[in-house]
Structure formats: C-alpha cells, structure tokens
Amino acid sequence: MNNRFRHLKFVFTWRNYQQILLENFERHLSDCHFHVVAPPGSGKTILGIEIIRKIGKKTLVLAPTLTIRNQWENRLQEFFTEYQDFKNFSFNIKEPSDITFVTYQSLHALHKSFKSLGDFTAFFEKHQIEVLVLDEAHHLKNSWWQTLMDLKNAINPYVVALTATPPYDSDRTEISKYFILCGPIDDEIAVPDLVKATDLCPHQDFIYLSKPDDLEINFIVAYRRQIADFVDVLLIDEMFKTFLIQHRFYRHTSEHLEDLYGNVEYFSSILIFLNKCGVIIPKEKLRILGFKRSETIEFPDLTLEWIQVLLQNILVNDRLTLEDQESYLKSLENELKRMSGFNNGKIDLIGETLLYKSLTKSPSKLKSIVTVVTSEYEHLNGDLRCVILTDYIRKEFCSTPNDQIQTINKIGVIPIFQYLRSHFADKQYLAVLSGSIVVIHQSIKVAVEHIAGAENFSFSEFPSDAEFLVLTPKSGTSKSAVEVLTLLFQQGDIKILVGTKSLLGEGWDAPSINSLILASFVGSFVSSNQMRGRAIRKNPLNPHKVGNIWHLACIDPTASNGGKDVETLQRRFQAFMGVSNKTFPVIENGLDRLELPKEIRAEDVETLNEITLQNSKDRSNTVNSWQVAIDSGSHLTREIKLMDLDEIPYKRQKRIYYKDMVLFFILELLLGLGLFFIEYFVKSIQVILNRGVYYFLNSLVIALMLSFGYRFYKAFQLYSHHGFLFQRIKEMGNAILDTLYELGHMTSKRQNISVIAEFSSQGQLICCLNNASRLEDALFTGALSQLLAPIETPRYLIIRTSFFKRRLDLENFYAVPEMFGDHKKRALIFQKHWNQHLGRSKLIYTRHLEGRKLLLKARLFHITNKFNEVSKEVMTWK
C-alpha cells in the first residue's frame, strides 16, 4: 500500500534526542507496538505525527481532552505542511479520514452506540483503520481500556503509546492491563537530554515541612496510645490466645495445608502472635512446613503490620469459617471501630488512612504556602511567576472575614487565596483561576476589559474583600477567562495565581512559570508529574529561567521517618528526574537526591526549612549543578539499589551494613586468636617441656574449638548469607543477562554488554548494565529486582545449595523472575546459567504440595523483610 502521508514532511530540524528515537523506532515495531515515555516539552505530539507518517496507514489518534485533540491537528499543519493545507483529517469518529483525531470519551461513546461488539469492530475494519495512537496513555481508565482492548483484539493494529509517566503507582492489575494494551516501554527521552538541548529549563524540587498544630498532635498521640493499649490488652487476652490455638490452621495444620499455602501471611501472623504471647510452637508444625527438627527458627518481632494481617483475615477474609466465634469477633470489631482502626472492611492500626487525611489536609500547609510565596517574591521581585495548584475550590470560605482567617481548617483554592490575601503585602498581584470561580484585583480590571472587551465579562465584589472582583464571563464570550488570565500572568500583571490541578495541571501552557507550589494531595504521581511539567518548560522570552517546584509535607511527630505524608512524597519522587543536592551533583529519580534526613524530628523542622529556603534562592547553583551533572554522563541508566533494612517501624535504630558486620566478626576473631595463642603458649611452656610439642598442638586445637568454634560458625553464616554480596549480586546479574540473551530478548552484541556492581558513596550496593539499550536496561533491572525481592508466590523457586550449606542450614531461596518462571523450559534455562555463575541449585515448582512447603519455608526465611523494601529501581544519568 502506498504511504498515505508521503506529502507530509517535518519542516524543521529534529533535535538530537528526537532523531535517535526515530532512528530506532522501526526495530521496536516487530511486535506492532511502540511505547514511548517522554517528559513534557520533548515534542511527543510531533514525534507521534512523524511515526504516523513513517507507518503510512490510516490512523486513529486518541487524546484525553478536546484541547489536546486540537493540538494534534495544529501541530500537523504547522510542523509538517508548508501552507497548512492538509485536508485528509477528521474530528468526527463516525466519519474517519486518513487521520482521525478524537477523544477517548468519543470512542467509548461510539462503542456503546453499537448493539454488539461485532458491529463496533466491523466499523473500523470497514474504514481500514490500522494504527491506534494513544496520547497521554496514562489516562486510560478501566472502561476506556476495555473498549480499546476489544478494538485492538479485533483489528490487530499498530499501537503507538505516548506518555510522560506510566501509571506505576496504580495497583498491579491496572499496571498489567496498561502494559498489555500499550506493550513494554520501547524508548524513553530523558529529562537531562531536554535540559541539555535547552528544551527544558534547569529546575529543582524543594520540600517545605510543617508541624501539625497542638490539636492535631494530640489527636495523633491519642490514636497511637489507643492502638498500643489495644495491642497490649490483646497480648494478654486469654480468650484471643485460646481462639488462635483452636484455629484450624494451628490446631489441625496438616488437614488444611491447601488453604494454608494459599494464605501464608495469615498462618505466619498466627505463629508470630502466639510466639510473642509465650506459646512454644511445636516442632511438628514447623516440620510439616518443611523445616527440619534440628533447624532453629527465629521468629520476627510482632509489628503492627503483622497484627493487621492477622485481624484483616480474622475479621474480614476468613470470617465465614469462624461463625461459631461471631459474638467474640463482633466485640473485637466494635472495639477497633471505636478507635477508627477498622473502616470500610479494612484494618488500619498504623493510621495510614486516618492520620494521612489529617496530615495532608493540615491547615499548617496554608502557613507554609505564605512563607514560600513571600520568600520567592522577595528574591525574584518583579520576575516572580508563581502558580499554586490544589484539588478543591471550597467556596464556603469566600465570606471568611479578616479576623477569622486563622480559623480556616481546610486546604483549597479559596483558603489559600484568603491566607495569601491577608498575609501578603503586595496583594494586587494575586488572582484565582478555577472552573467555577475567577478572582482578580481591581487594579487589573481595565487590562481584562482591554484584552477581552468590556462587554464580555461582568464583575462583582469578592465577599470578604472589596479590593478583589469576581469575574464572570457572559454567554458568547470569544475569549475565555483562562486565556485572559494566562496572558495577564505572562505579562506580569498577575504574579501569583491560585488554581485547581484539574484546570491548570495538564494541557495548560504558561512558559513564564518559575515557581510552582503543589498543594495537591489527591491523585497519583502521574498527575503530580504532569503538574510539575508546567514549571520546567523553557520560556522563549527568558532563556535564563530556572524553575523551583515546591512540595508540602506535614510531619507525623510520632513517626521517625516523618510519617505518611513524607512517604507519599517518596513514592511520587520515583517519577521525578532531577539534579541532586550533593557536593558532586548527579541526575537521578527518587527523594534521596534531596538528602532529606532518614529521621525527621519535629524539633528539626525549622532548621531544615531555613536551609531549604536558602538553597531555593541560589538559582545559579541549580544551573551549575545541572551543567556539571549533565557533563558527567551521556545516557539514562536503570540501576538496582539494595536498601538498608529496618525491621521495627516507628523506632530509632542503628543501621549496620552487612559488610561491616562481617568485617567486625573477622577482626574480633583474629584479635581473639592472637591474644588466646599468646596466653595459651605462655601457660603451656611446662607442658611442652614435659610432654612434647605433639601433645601441646593437640591440646591447642581442642582449646581453639571450645573457645572459638561457635564464633567461627557464626562468622561463616554471616559470610554465607551476606558476605561477598558484591560478587554474588554481580553473578546473579550475569545469570540474568545470559538468560535474556538465550531467550532472544537482547539485541545488543553480547561482548559489548557487561554487568556492573559497585558501592555508592552512601555505602549502598548498586547493580546495572553497561552499554545496554533502555529496553534492555528495563528487562534486566525488572528481573533482578524480582529476584531480590521478598518472596511472594512465584511459580518457581531457585535454591542456592550445596552439601555443606544443607548441613549448616544455610540454603538461600530466591524467586525465579516472572519472565523466566512462566514456563518450565525458560526456568530451566535460567537455572543453567545460575549454576554456571553461582554454583549448584535446585529448581522447585511451587504449585504442587512439596513445592508449596518449600515456598512457605522460603517466605518464613525472608519473613523479616516482609514489610521492607529490599531493593528498588532507580534511574541515573551516567
């Protein structure tokens, strides 16, 4: 078939990173998918049009909004035609053309308009649609996803997926569905490439912390005390202990192995709780699970997470089988509900829901916003262009008088505006822009009328301040309020704009933004990344622009890590690539790059904030850091970083690296041996003279075994489990790499690819590939992270073993990565390469009875890591 778009041609010059992506795209089309991740400002739309042009077949382009849909047609005419005269396009899905631009909603509505699925898919077959372009693919909802899957399965099209942020923080089912539709990520444009090409401005993220007020602190402390008291009572509750001892999993373990293996956490939580109560767990029960009589089992501490697992099963998942105990369970349920530890069918003893809502909506963040805006304004003065994005409008606070501003207790557009209005000196630069209310200062009324026409808007006084006007468009107005206020913001008539993320968070373009405050707590890090993209775009009128992005967090003073609000930021920062605050700056994702302390105490908040405000004023340092970091690397690399493990939440702990622990044992042994030998020799001179050297040597060996045998054994255990970690991880990586090559997943030449394992400056072990493509990087790190993660329910286990390891109880269990473990043939290929690099192993299929025994044993072996992150994938510019 002739290329339908041969007359289209890109009329400008491709950027280097765009050219590289386009050169590689054809080899990714072998599976009829091309999935691209690219940040805002990278030209995803024009890249999409060029890909459509290269494929040359009738195309359906799907966008989340009408604005973005229209941008596609605009970019096509502006960048690919000389006279903007391309006619073979359509905005009407019922009348497709060579390229049809529509929204996801339109496609879904068309789907529902047909009587049957066959009629729906036949429509596209009739019109010979052969390419689907999914723009902002992270928007795909369940209903839209199903419509697209039905269409994809019927017409087998090329699927081109474009997104700035894959929805990694969705649940596993949604992530799986997303990749089934879009295919694996084929290529990625890195933020450093765009900063280097000046398509994005240098920028930095800052975290401004706040402390809850006294009422909030009292609420948190009271909640924690209630939960602690509840746990203490439960541990001495003889009725509850008897209930667990009589539970079918414990009392008749061997008769319920099938159910038990299906819910390992439940059974584990019963054993851990009873062990904490002082109940001696019979060896027979552990032998049934695959443990030998001689093995010593060290039960983990009973944490709140384990109690949650136990109660979630007893009160929800397993309740129907416990009907004879219903009255007791009901009383337990009522007690938990009274403490807000049980809501909507979910046990929550840590306060993830209750305390998180309290902290994320804390009015202390209103004060944080005022402080940040004031600091930015004083530093930039007339150059400030600050946007504050939040979730709700909250019009009920419009009438709050000045003397009651401090009583506002909710975050929203109007509360933020009211706080700024009452605390900010130059309030004439303030404005509100949302879907249902627009507020401007009286001083720019004339400017609004000049831009839009005096007859197109009506004005009324803002209820609590006559200096401000509520702007209302009249019907038939040609220019929208968004257009007018955006222009005034660009000009500097408005310097501080408060709005909703739904209106301004995506698709809105104001290149002059140089300070963005994210006061949003609803939604995923996908939307966070989209909002952040507003501030990092280059400004053609200001080539020296530097963007500051502010994130707000209210700490939980009872949690050493800062609490749930900080944890949420940690997850969101996985989607953000940026430059670090380190002496030698690097570009990477994650919160670690900002060097926030691991433990955040309430008394340290003010000092941390002062440092943050000071750093935010040094925009030249941000520029220099980007330049140094970009020059130190050439491409984006995925790495696996092994984490430090904390076993007990909410308690301060001393962190000890495994290598330091092993080294300590060896030094202790050598020192002890030296002192022991000297002392023993001096004491035994008489023995040597009377009975001879042979008798002395025999007695020395016996004395050494008695004195140091156990220490030698413990040191050997440490070496076996944790020593040589550097070399072991590298060999694991080589086993994965060789398996990927044998299964045909790698396209780069084998001799050019190597596994790197090294310790970072912070002492963390890092493993990655050298010289691999981004897709190969993703496959490798995905497999390695699954291999190192706490064991869940893999189809195959691999056990690192030997004669001595079995005798000394030192066998190591690992989950075979999903991409190798979905079929026995592939699992055996992985085992072959494992044996070549790491020595003998056993491959265990976990779906039969013996395999499930070993699976449970493996999970108990790793049980201390159950609620901890063992490793994580990081993106680094190297």
Find the range with the poorest average confidence among 312-316, 652-656, 726-730.
652-656
High-pLDDT (> 70) share of the chain, % = 84
Q: Are 236 and 581 in contact (CB under 8 A)?
A: no
Average pLDDT over residues 60-71: 90
Q: Compute the C-alpha angle 677/682/688, nearest 5°.
A: 95
Mean pLDDT of 711-727: 53
CA distances from 735 to 621, 728, 730, 816, 834 (A): 43, 11, 9, 11, 5
For residue 759, the surrounding DSSP H or E stretch is strand 754-759
Q: Is the pLDDT of residue 62 over 90?
A: yes
Strand partners, 431: 497
- What are the phi and psi torsion angles at 759 (to 5°)? -95, 135
Q: Distance (Å, rounded) from C-alpha 838 to C-alpha 659?
A: 19
Hey, which of 5-9, 549-553, 725-729 has the most confident mean pLDDT?
Answer: 549-553
- 3-state SS class at 23: helix
pLDDT in tens, 169-203: 666 677 778 888 998 888 888 899 999 999 999 99
pLDDT at position 527 is: 67
pLDDT, tens digit, for every residue of 560-618? 888 888 988 888 888 788 999 888 899 998 898 998 998 898 899 999 999 999 999 99
- Dump pLDDT digits (tens) for 780-793: 998 998 898 878 78
Could you tell me the pLDDT band of residue 713, with boundaries at 50, 70 and 90?
low
Question: What integer pLDDT is reported at residue 646 of this predicted model?
Answer: 39
> Residue 805 pLDDT > 60, yes or no?
no
Residue 450 CA to residue 246 CA, distance in Å, equals 81
Residue percentage of the chain with pLDDT more than 90 = 49
Q: Exposed, middle or buried by CB within 10 Å (0-12, 13-18, 19+), for 671? A: exposed
- In angstroms, the CA 592 to CA 582 distance is 10
Model confidence band, residue 722 (pLDDT cutoffs 50, 70, 90) = very low
Q: Tell me how far apart the alpha carbons of residues 847 and 845 are, in angstroms, rounded to a whole number.
A: 6
Reported as a single tens digit per residue, the pLDDT across 649-666 is: 322 222 333 444 444 445
Distance separating alpha carbons of residues 357 and 365, to the nearest angstrom? 13
In this prediction, residue 716 carries a pLDDT of: 53
Domains of the chain from N-terminus onward = 16-189 (3.40.50.300), 192-213+377-385+510-514+524-633 (no CATH), 215-350 (no CATH), 658-720 (no CATH), 725-877 (no CATH)
Per mean pLDDT, which range of 400-404, 611-615, 869-873 is the poorest? 869-873
Helices 725-742, 774-788: inter-axial angle, 10-degree rounding = 130
Would you state the structure tokens that stand for residue 273, as one six-digit string? 């709780």
Residue 261's pLDDT is 75
The answer to whether residues 833 and 792 touch, using CB atoms and an 8 Å cutoff, is no
In terms of Cβ atoms closer than 10 Å to its own Cβ (0-12, 13-18, 19+), residue 584 is exposed
Dihedral sign for Cα 106, 109, 110, 111, please: positive
> Which of the four pLDDT bands, split at 50, 70 and 90, describes residue 360?
confident
| Average pLDDT rounded to a whole number, residues 806-822 | 75
Handedness of CA 767, 773, 774, 778 (dihedral sign): negative
Torsional sign, CA 332, 335, 340, 343? positive
Burial of 180 (0-12, 13-18, 19+ CB in 10 A): exposed
CA distance 718 to 732: 19
CB 837 within 8 A of CB 734: yes
Name the band, by pLDDT with cuts 50, 70 and 90, for residue 861: low
Q: Over the stretch 438-493, which tens digit does the pLDDT of each residue have?
A: 999 999 999 999 998 878 889 999 999 999 999 998 876 657 888 999 999 999 99
d(CA 319, CA 321): 5
Provide mean pLDDT across the span 500-524: 81
pLDDT of residue 368: 97
Banded pLDDT at 809 (limits 50, 70, 90) = very low
| Higher per-residue confidence, 132 vs 662 | 132
Q: Which three-class secondary structure state does DSSP give residue 362?
A: coil
Q: What is the mean pLDDT of residues 366-379?
A: 96
Tens digit of each residue's pLDDT (9 = 90 or more) over 522-557: 655 566 777 788 789 899 999 999 999 999 999 999
CA nearest 307: which of 234, 247, 251, 245? 234
What sections of 573-692 are H helices per DSSP? Answer: 605-617, 619-631, 658-683, 685-691
Instruction: Calculate the average pLDDT of the chain.
Output: 84
Per-residue pLDDT of 660-710, as tens digits, reads: 444 444 555 555 555 545 554 555 555 554 555 555 555 555 655 555 455
The DSSP bridge pattern shows strands 457-462 and 465-473 to be: antiparallel
Question: Which has more confidence, 702 or 213?
Answer: 213
Q: Which residues pair with 640 in a beta bridge?
A: 767, 873
* 3-class secondary structure per residue, 145-175: HHHHHHHHHHHCCEEEEEECCCCCCCCHHHH
pLDDT, tens only, 406-418: 889 899 999 999 9
Instruction: State how far the Cα of 748 lies from the Cα of 176, in Å rounded to an integer.
Output: 27
Report the alpha-carbon distance of residue 503 to residue 390 in Å, rounded. 10
Q: Of 240, 176, 157, 179, nearest to 35 (Cα)?
A: 179
Partners of residue 335 on adjacent β-strands? none
Enclosing H/E stretch for 45 = helix 44-55
Decide if pLDDT at 720 tops 60: no
Top mean pLDDT of 286-290, 627-631, 658-662, 778-782 is at 627-631
The secondary structure element, H or E, covering residue 125 is: helix 117-126
First-to-final CA distance of the chain: 43
The distance between the two most distant Cα atoms of the chain, rounded to a whole number of Å, is 120
* Beta-bridge partner residues of 660: none
Do 518 and 452 form a contact (C-beta atoms < 8 A)? no
